[in-house]
Amino acid sequence: MSQPIVYETGDTIQFTWTASLAPESAPIFSVHDKSNTIVHSSSSIQSGPFHYYTMWTMPNTCDWYLYEWKAFKTIAGSAYPFVNRGVFRVGRTTLATIP
């Protein structure tokens, strides 16, 4: 079993997305909290024909979050969704003092 991805509160992280086909428009990146409330949503920036990224600063609330990329591609008159999801945890490192 792999280790969970953990980010520090206040850190700015680059999230990236790669597709096998170019979508109709830049994918939307969103982050949901454990209540499925959207805490962030933004368009991405294209960095290549099939590559996109967005920057996001981690919240101050230590918890688990779900990220989601969503885009669409029209083929033969039908729109097909591209969806990519993952989870991460936001934590806060504290330093112990030695007496």
98 pLDDT higher than 80: no
Tell me the backbone φ, ψ of residue 79, rounded to 5 degrees: -90, 125
Q: Which two tokens stand for residue 29?
A: 């990146």
Domain harbouring 31, CATH code: 2.60.40.4070
| Local confidence band at 23 (pLDDT 50, 70, 90 cut-offs) | confident
Question: Could you give the number of structural domains in the chain?
Answer: 1
Residue 62 identity: C
pTM of the model: 0.83
Of 99 and 1, the structure prediction assigns the larger pLDDT to 99
- Rounded Cα distance between 72 and 60, Å, is 32
Residue 18 identity: T
What pLDDT, on the 0 to 100 scale, is given for residue 19? 84
- Rounded Cα distance between 81 and 84, Å, is 10
Residue 98 within any structural domain of the chain = no
Are the C-beta atoms of residues 72 and 82 closer than 8 Å to each other? yes
- The domain of 77 spans 6-90
Residue 16 within any structural domain of the chain = yes
Residue 94 identity: T
DSSP of 38-83: EEEEEE-EEEETTEEEEEEEPPSS-EEEEEEEEEEEEETTEEEEEE
What are the tens digits of pLDDT across the range 33-92?
999 999 999 999 999 888 999 999 999 999 999 999 999 888 888 888 889 999 999 999
